Amino acid sequence: MSKSYTGGCACGAIRYDVAGEPAVMVDCQCRQCQRDSGTGHQSHLTFVAAEVKLEGNASHWQTVGDGGTVKRRGFCPTCGSPVYLAFPDMPEVFIVTPASLDDPSRFNPQFVSWTKAGQAWDYLNPALPKFDRMPTT
C-alpha cells in the first residue's frame, strides 16, 4: 500500500489526507489556471475515487474552465492558500496543488495541457508531452 498524500494550507487551518495514487499529474496552461496561480500555469495532482479526509473549513468559489468544465476551488479563508479543486459534475475527482503537499517533491508532471493558451515566458520541461487542450483517453 502506498503512502497517502497529505498537505494543507500555509497556516495549517485546512488539512487533507488522500489515500490512493494520483490518476494523473499535470501542468495546465489554460487562462483560468494562469489567473488562479498568478503565473503561466498551475500544477495539479488529480485523484479519482480516492479516499479523501478534509479537516478545517475552506472557502470556495466556482469558475468555468476553457473547456467549459465547472470547477469549485477550495482555499483557506485565513491565509488565502489554494488547497484543492473539485468538479460539481464529477464528485469522484479531487485535485490538490503540489505546493500544498507536505512533501511537494512527490509531484512529477506527466504532460502539459492547454498549451494553446500558454505564455512564451512560461518555461516548462521541454521533455514533457504537450497538448493544445486537455487530452482525452
Q: Contact 94/47 with Cβ under 8 angstroms?
A: yes
Q: Name the pTM for this structure.
A: 0.85
4-38, pLDDT tens digit by residue?
Answer: 999 999 999 999 999 999 999 999 998 888 888 88
Instruction: Write the DSSP string, 76-104.
Output: -TTT--EEEEEETTEEEEEEE-GGGBSSG
Q: Contact 107/25 with Cβ under 8 angstroms?
A: yes
77-136, pLDDT tens digit by residue?
Answer: 999 999 999 998 899 999 999 999 999 999 999 989 998 988 999 988 999 989 888 877
Residue the block writes with cell 470547477: 71
44, pLDDT greater than 60: yes
**pLDDT score of 65:** 73
Distances (CA, A) of 46 to 98, 121, 129: 10, 26, 17
Structural domains for the chain:
5-117 (2.170.150.70)
